Structure 1
Amino acid sequence: MTLAWSRDQSFPLIARIPTTLPWRLAKYIGRESAAAREPVLRWLEALFARVFPGQSELQHAQWAKAHLAMLAQEMVDAMAFDRMGSTGGPRVDVQGVEHARRLLSDGQGFILVLNHFDRLLTAPVALARAGIPTNVLTMPVLDNQELAASQRRFLLRKIQGYTSVTGGKWHTTSEGLRVVHESLRAGQGWVILADAWRPEFSRLRSHSFLGGCLHLPTGIERLAQSTGVPMLQAVTCSRNPTHLEVVVERLPQNPHQAIDAVVQTLERDVVRRPWAWWQWGLWDQMWTREKKAEGNP
């Protein structure tokens, strides 16, 4: 099985099974071919050993397997957003919906900040179930030359399913941010990932993280500053493949302090469940032992 096959055939096909079985099967199907899986596991084990030297080899191996299982389960999510928190899908328990509901009732736009952690898009889907629509800002897809054709097809199908459930629109950074600014000022909510990272990013800020510094873009805090909107944070915890918990929290009014709080929460969660962070493949690009000079504000 190739990665293209899993995107085009395997996961769309099993996601049609009208029970929670697809989420339990996902880790056995996997995103990778059988030949690619073992090298990926060994690489993850070595990275976990480097970042968490105090843990055993067995623990590193368990984290590596859990990481690949989580990513495979998220691929089922991507093909079945309409069943998450609903009939035939994973159970989703949510705390903190009132924060978003209060802002919505006041006509106040807001930024819902997520990280690439666990089944990350569960939170906006859960808010939509509670009557709170959100839009989403992502990196480019159609004009991203680094994406393979199968990746584009999968992501476009994922975005279509996601927006049909969340009731908002999809916008990419390559399209400019005027629409986002206007929408926030008009009282709408936008989902943005704080730990998105690209080599060409120049406006970065360093955050204390796991004994070194994590370098993240400053786009969210600049957007919040210019629009004057508040920020919320949502974190998802998967208790098992078919039971997820979401916690929505209000962040400090000061955008700089708000993103600091987001990163502190991410560090706490990564220490507790290292396998649930998506960004290990970018670790050596995003993290350094020493603080780097911050980019232009």
Structure 2
Amino acid sequence: MSHDWRMQWGYPGLAGLPGTLPWKLAPYLGRDPGEARRATEDFLCMRFGQVFPESTPTQRAEWARAHMDMVALEMMDGIALHRLGGVNGPAIELAGWEHVQALAERKTGFIVVLSHFDRLMTSLVALARQGLVMNALTMPVLDNPDLSPVHRRFLTRKVNNLVSVIHGQYRSTSESLRPVHEGLLAGDVWIILADVWQPHFGRLRKHPFLGGEISLPTGIERLAKSTGVPLVHAITYSQGASRLKVEVDPLPEDPKEAVDAVIQRLEKDVRARPWAWWQWGVWDHMWRRAGQTDGEERL
């Protein structure tokens, strides 16, 4: 990949700089070379225009640039994750810890539900700094055959950094989910993303979303129902490159209602901050107009 040098030398080099300087410089380094970045920004502007027709070209261009900056900052987070929320890294303000604490004191397992919004790992760091031990269940990443060796090493380092912070397991959905099920029954905490998409997904449920319907997997609610564990929601809002806010919300006891609440919150947040959602690239696969059939053209 033409951006391999950023992963091999660029971000690791920035990680050696003091204080919050790495995060201030990361957007200038970016994820991609100039031509690829411009192509991605053009795509995002097109998508924003389709989904938010009331927006102006200037707004859409600003959102596209903000999205690319966020991607770069997330890469910086992954390389220097242990510095988030510390004296030598970006500041994190945490609101709603009492909801997690109440579940932890029950000595039963629970699921921390995240979505692909803003800088994903910040909420995990914030909870871990309060002493919460967590385990992460994610989509297959490291076993992607399309990854270059440099990209694979970069992601491996990112995963290892995450594990060192949350002090638990990291598992892919391509592996057996039995340890997840058994762990929840034994009192473990698992982190799972709600707004994921893969072409092989079979069990999906539709949710009202941005004027249409978004189809999302039912794995979280089925897992919560089968184990009887509660759910809690965490989300990050960037206040700048080196200032972040994490909000934790309690969720309804019924797993289906809990996931509905997460997606309703996500819709509200995406409307307010279109640039902060990661899933615009798979929008065509996830979203359709209400009542639209498979044979009809999507937005």
- The residue aligned with 1:132 is 132
Alignment of 1:249-264 (within 5 A): 249-264=249-264
Q: Distance in 2 between matches of 1:182 and 1:289?
A: 39
For residue 220 of structure 1, report the CA deviation from its aligned partner: 0.6
For residue 251 of structure 1, report the CA deviation from its aligned partner: 0.7
Alignment of 1:231-270 (within 5 A): 231-270=231-270
User: How has the CA–CA distance of structure 1 residues 252 and 291 changed in structure 2, closer, same or farther, with 3 Å as cutoff?
Assistant: farther
Alignment check: 8 A CA contact 1:109 1:229 kept: yes
For residue 290 of structure 1, report the CA deviation from its aligned partner: 3.0
Mean CA deviation greater in 1-10 or 72-81: 1-10
Corresponding letter in the other structure for 1:150: V
Q: Distance in 1 between matches of 2:290 and 2:12?
A: 43
For residue 55 of structure 1, report the CA deviation from its aligned partner: 1.0
Which ranges of 4 or more aligned residues in structure 1 deviate by more than 6 Å? Answer: none
Alignment check: 8 A CA contact 1:104 1:188 kept: no
Percent of aligned pairs with the same amino acid: 51
In the alignment, structure 1 residue 145 sits paired with structure 2 residue 145: yes
In the alignment, structure 1 residue 5 sits paired with structure 2 residue 15: no
- The residue aligned with 1:171 is 171
Q: Distance in 1 between matches of 2:114 and 2:108?
A: 19
**Local SS of the residue matching 1:2:** coil
**Local SS of the residue matching 1:248:** strand
In the alignment, structure 1 residue 73 sits paired with structure 2 residue 88: no
For residue 146 of structure 1, report the CA deviation from its aligned partner: 3.6
1:43-66 Cα deviation digits (max 9, x unpaired): 111111111110110000000000
1:198-237 Cα deviation digits (max 9, x unpaired): 1111111111000111111111111101110000000100
Alignment check: 8 A CA contact 2:142 2:155 kept: no
Alignment of 1:70-219 (within 5 A): 70-219=70-219
In the alignment, structure 1 residue 220 sits paired with structure 2 residue 220: yes
**Local SS of the residue matching 1:123:** helix
Q: Distance in 2 between matches of 1:15 and 1:235?
A: 25
Alignment check: 8 A CA contact 2:44 2:64 kept: yes
User: How has the CA–CA distance of structure 1 residues 256 and 292 changed in structure 2, closer, same or farther, with 3 Å as cutoff?
Assistant: farther
1:143-175 Cα deviation digits (max 9, x unpaired): 322433333212111010011011111111121
Q: Distance in 2 between matches of 1:173 and 1:11?
A: 28
In the alignment, structure 1 residue 290 sits paired with structure 2 residue 290: yes
User: How has the CA–CA distance of structure 1 residues 227 and 146 changed in structure 2, closer, same or farther, with 3 Å as cutoff?
Assistant: farther
User: How has the CA–CA distance of structure 1 residues 114 and 292 changed in structure 2, closer, same or farther, with 3 Å as cutoff?
Assistant: farther
Corresponding letter in the other structure for 1:15: A
What TM-score does the superposition give when structure 1 sets the normalisation length?
A: 0.96
Q: Distance in 2 between matches of 1:143 and 1:119?
A: 23
Alignment check: 8 A CA contact 1:94 1:247 kept: yes
Corresponding letter in the other structure for 1:217: P
The root-mean-square deviation of aligned C-alpha atoms, in Å, is 1.5
Q: Distance in 2 between matches of 1:28 and 1:144?
A: 28
User: How has the CA–CA distance of structure 1 residues 291 and 56 changed in structure 2, closer, same or farther, with 3 Å as cutoff?
Assistant: same
For residue 291 of structure 1, report the CA deviation from its aligned partner: 4.4
- The residue aligned with 2:296 is none
Alignment of 1:23-102 (within 5 A): 23-102=23-102
What TM-score does the superposition give when structure 2 sets the normalisation length?
A: 0.95
Alignment check: 8 A CA contact 1:206 1:292 kept: no
Count of equivalent residues: 294
Q: Any unmatched runs of 5+ in structure 1?
A: none
